[in-house]
């Protein structure tokens, strides 16, 4: 198990470095207009040159990369060019916001999709067909459209949930929960539709296997077969799907944060990309990559723990 985790850690580290380098080269090679955007229309050529020197943009690209990497390894991700906020502080402020939303969405997705998937697999018939139709529908609806419909109905018409914003948990648990209901619901509809189908397929596959027939022949109750044996064997593909859902939900959060004006990493990323705020963009990309890598690693470890066959891959 230790060797398995070690190999995964090495692969993850290489991945983080590669993505950071590629992002850096892409982002920093297009910084020609940053000084002008920062200093405005009246800036002279000398002022623009001075600003470029101050930001280090007059250095060769590899020197800039070395400087950024050196600082980043010491935990210094720099300062936003456009808001003067330290990047690490900006990320620290916004990461909990995005994680609140995504973790809740993943938890809800797991709960609902397991219920629906198992119900569809076990009961079959009209329930299975209904769940499949709903899944296709849920998968087809864009989450930003779902979000807008939910806002119009629950916030503008009924006035029962906030249309925008985020409240810190420490500030008001009720406000925090109510602020997240609609964003999480918008994310969950699409992800559940996909995950429920995967769970259904995994459970059906397991229930068709020989060992299940043997268990039934030994007189075990259907509940015991399902919950103590079949679900455990179906857990591995389900966990993989959930890890993919986590990554997809991080991407989906970018749009949902925009719709609900939630100050999370998605909003930070969009604003940084539109402005050309490269230090922020780099910080966010590296953070998200590390986050995704950690989740994948955790899922690999859990899968390996649940199913020893996985470890030999």
Burial of 126 (0-12, 13-18, 19+ CB in 10 A): exposed
Angstrom distances, CA of residue 77 to CA of 67, 73, 185, 286, 299: 11, 9, 33, 10, 28
Cα separation, 295 vs 240, whole angstroms: 10
Residue 11: alpha-carbon gap to chain centroid: 20
Mask: binding to other proteins, 115-154, rule CB under 8 A, as x and -?
x--xx--xx---x--------------------x--xx-x
Site for other proteins in 19-48 (CB under 8 A): 30, 32-33, 36-37, 39-43, 47
Residue 68 and residue 24 in contact, taking contact as beta carbons nearer than 8 Å: yes
CB of 65 to other proteins, least distance (A): 22
Closer residue to other proteins (CB): 86 or 306:
86
Tokens standing for residue 124: 């079959």
Angstrom distances, CA of residue 127 to CA of 45, 117, 222, 226: 70, 10, 19, 18
Closer residue to other proteins (CB): 177 or 302:
177
Site for other proteins in 240-259 (CB under 8 A): 258-259
Tokens standing for residue 132: 């499949």
CB of 55 to other proteins, least distance (A): 12
Closer residue to other proteins (CB): 121 or 299:
121
Closer residue to other proteins (CB): 33 or 67:
33
CB of 185 to other proteins, least distance (A): 9
CB of 269 to other proteins, least distance (A): 12
User: Among the candidate windows 57-65, 99-107, 112-120, 197-205, which touches other proteins by CB under 8 A?
Assistant: 112-120
DSSP class per residue in 71-111 = HHHTT---B-TTT--BHHHHHHHHHHHHHHHHHHHHHHHHH
CB of 172 to other proteins, least distance (A): 5
Out of 29, 172, 214, 221, the residue judged to bind other proteins by CB under 8 A: 172
Site for other proteins in 49-68 (CB under 8 A): 50-51
Closer residue to other proteins (CB): 51 or 200:
51
156 part of the interface to other proteins, by CB under 8 A: yes
88 part of the interface to other proteins, by CB under 8 A: no
- Can you state the percent helix, strand and coil of the chain, rounding each to 5? 80, 0, 20
Neighbours of 140 (CB within 10 A): 9
Tokens standing for residue 155: 């916030």
Which parts of this chain interact with other proteins (CB under 8 A)? 30, 32-33, 36-37, 39-43, 47, 50-51, 82-85, 89-90, 93-94, 115, 118-119, 122-123, 127, 148, 151-152, 154-156, 159-167, 172-175, 177-179, 181, 258-261, 263, 267-268, 270-271, 274-276
């Amino acid at each position: 198990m230790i060797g398995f985790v070690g190999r995964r850690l090495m692969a993850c580290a290489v991945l983080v470095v590669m993505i950071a380098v590629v992002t850096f080269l892409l982002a920093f090679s297009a910084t020609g207009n940053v000084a002008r955007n920062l200093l405005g229309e009246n800036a002279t050529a000398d002022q623009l040159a001075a600003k470029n020197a101050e930001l280090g943009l007059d250095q060769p690209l590899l020197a800039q990369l070395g400087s950024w990497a050196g600082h980043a390894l010491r935990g210094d991700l720099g300062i936003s060019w456009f808001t003067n906020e330290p990047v690490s502080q900006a990320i620290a402020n916004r990461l909990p916001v995005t994680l609140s939303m995504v973790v809740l969405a993943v938890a809800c997705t797991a709960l609902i999709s397991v219920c629906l998937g198992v119900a569809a697999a076990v009961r079959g018939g009209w329930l299975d067909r209904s769940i499949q139709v709903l899944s296709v529908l849920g998968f087809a609806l864009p989450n930003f459209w779902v979000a807008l419909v939910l806002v119009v109905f629950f916030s503008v018409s009924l006035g029962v949930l906030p249309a925008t914003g985020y409240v810190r948990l420490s500030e008001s648990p009720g406000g925090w929960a109510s602020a997240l209901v609609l964003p999480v619901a918008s994310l969950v509809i699409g992800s559940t539709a996909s995950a429920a189908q995967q769970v259904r397929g995994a459970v059906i596959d397991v229930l068709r296997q020989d060992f299940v027939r043997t268990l039934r022949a030994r007189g075990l109750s259907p509940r015991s077969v399902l919950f103590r044996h079949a679900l455990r064997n179906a857990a591995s593909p389900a966990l993989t799907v959930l890890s993919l859902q986590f990554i997809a939900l991080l991407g989906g959060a970018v749009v949902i944060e925009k719709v609900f004006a939630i100050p999370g990493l998605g909003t930070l990323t969009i604003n940084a990309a539109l402005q050309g705020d490269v230090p922020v963009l780099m910080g966010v990309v590296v953070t998200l990559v590390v986050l995704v890598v950690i989740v994948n690693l955790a899922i690999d470890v859990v899968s390996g723990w649940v199913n020893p066959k996985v470890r030999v891959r």
